[in-house]
Structure 1
Amino acid sequence: MQTPMHLTGRHVLVTGASAGIGRATAVLLSRLGARVTLTGRDETRLADTLAELAGDGHRMAAFDLADIDAIPAWIKELATSHGPFGGLAHCAGLQVSKPVRGVDLAFFDQILHVNLASALALARGLRQKGCHGDAGALVYVASVAAWVGQPGNAVYAASKGGLISAVRSLAMELLRDGLRVNAVAPGLVETEMTERFRATTTAEQFQAIVDRHPLGLGKPEDVANAVAFLLSDASRWITGVTLPVDGGHLVR
């Protein structure tokens, strides 16, 4: 009996695949049988991820998702040359802490552009005719920061809160296209982004955040497992939800 978690024959686009959650997701999807297209800005690091994938037929396609208006045409090109997508995992994102007294328009635009505008443009691209199969799934990586208040994190939290709200609307809008739309909301995960965040806090502040995770800090693979579930047919009756993957942070 084949597990419903299998992704054999499915073409999946993974953004932010050069490191962290994106890399772990790409590796897991390849092990589940998916044919993975990796994207990110750093070709050298994408090549490192590509070397870790299981199976054949994978490729890398470096692209800067900051070019919002070019995203739909880029997805169309990928689907035309390498086949329609059965799934998309949007793992790329930007986390920068800044007290509200230091927030200006440039900072606000940067965070919302990377974390929210690119996500909407990817949905716009995937829903195009010929870019997806009869059924597919789109999974976004949000954050528990959307639900948990933290000083200096208002803009980032707003961007992820907006993403979670967008997931519910997109789930209804893309039903007619045969696309399910969901998100995962990680707590603090041991990635390079977390190390950069650690550098902006004191040891006491960072430890206080760690202590809010009863199961300890997460690994990229913990989030990748949830993303794979939401991409697979094991979640075929789920759309419009955001799944916390947070080590118990929200229930503490």
Structure 2
Amino acid sequence: MQLNPFSLADKHILVTGASSGIGREVAIWISKQGARVTLVARDVSRLETTLGLLEGNQHNLEVVDFLADTDISQWLKTVAKNSVPFDGLVHAAGVQMPMPIRATSLAHWEKIMSTNVTSGFSLIKAFRQKGVCNPASSIVLISSVMAQAGESALLGYCASKGAVEGMVRAAAVELAREGIRVNAIAPGVVQTELVDTLESLVGADSMKSIEERHPLGFGKAEDVAYAANYLLSPASKWVTGTALVVDGGYLA
């Protein structure tokens, strides 16, 4: 038995959405646990800011737009070839884009689905390629309690996160034979830029009402980072196909 089964020492982890919010905090925290981190997002200047906050000096960054026509499978194979194979993936890139049903266009809906669902599928498919990941690797997708609960103006977001969790279960069953675990983290409302966007739409009173439905209050990005640490580490070696709820009691 390992002395510290939560350690990420010598593990190479890919983190998407690493330019801000949950993705940035996950990257910072796992670097403190010994991981070598490859940061991924669209904004190079914000990625460089994240890079400067990491512990250690073997980290690198990749600028990728998952909505562009990038061949994700070939890109990830090249990244692994140019460094070392991965031991884990945290897909934190995503959008919320609150919008009442009456105002939601098909283009709006499709952007949410592409960003939150299709990108996850592309990464799962790419990650499992020969030479990209090591044995006993772990994939972690960031879902939301909105996969199980509804909220006004978040129809597309709720639907996309429900799809993410369905995808996680199916991938976990299929990839178990390859030694790859697949899980999700389902946070409640976490204090990030997305919360500011939601508050600007629904108003301060509505946000206060939402916060009151979290018995422990709104969470912080570090709360999700700690959960990601667990799912990436050997401590969770018998955990796959689940969504770990980290919500301050919201669903309760």
* TM-score computed with the length of structure 2 as normaliser: 0.97
In 2 relative to 1, CA 176–69 (structure 1 residues): closer, same or farther, beyond 3 Å? farther
Q: Distance in 2 between matches of 1:112 and 1:69?
A: 17
- The answer to whether the 8 A contact 1:68-1:117 is kept is no
Deviation at 1:56, TM superposition (A): 2.2
Match of 2:94 in 1: 93
How many percent of aligned residue pairs carry the same amino acid?
A: 44
Structure 1 stretch 170-179 or stretch 122-131: which is displaced more?
Answer: 170-179
Deviation at 1:64, TM superposition (A): 0.7
Secondary structure of the structure 2 residue equivalent to 1:194: helix
- The answer to whether the 8 A contact 1:31-1:54 is kept is yes
Q: Distance in 2 between matches of 1:84 and 1:151?
A: 42
Q: Distance in 1 between matches of 2:70 and 2:157?
A: 22
Match of 1:216 in 2: 217
Mapping for residues 142-157 of structure 1, pairs under 5 Å: 142-157=143-158
Uncovered stretches (5+) of structure 1, i.e. residues with no partner: none
Match of 2:16 in 1: 15
Q: Distance in 1 between matches of 2:231 and 2:42?
A: 25
**What is the number of equivalent residue pairs in this alignment?**
251
Give the root-mean-square deviation of aligned CA atoms. 1.0
Secondary structure of the structure 1 residue equivalent to 2:63: coil
Q: Distance in 2 between matches of 1:31 and 1:202?
A: 37
Q: Distance in 1 between matches of 2:69 and 2:117?
A: 10
Deviation at 1:166, TM superposition (A): 0.6
Deviation at 1:69, TM superposition (A): 5.3
- The answer to whether the 8 A contact 1:68-1:118 is kept is no
Q: Distance in 2 between matches of 1:68 and 1:139?
A: 24
Secondary structure of the structure 1 residue equivalent to 2:135: strand
- The answer to whether the 8 A contact 1:85-1:133 is kept is yes
Match of 1:45 in 2: 46
Match of 1:169 in 2: 170
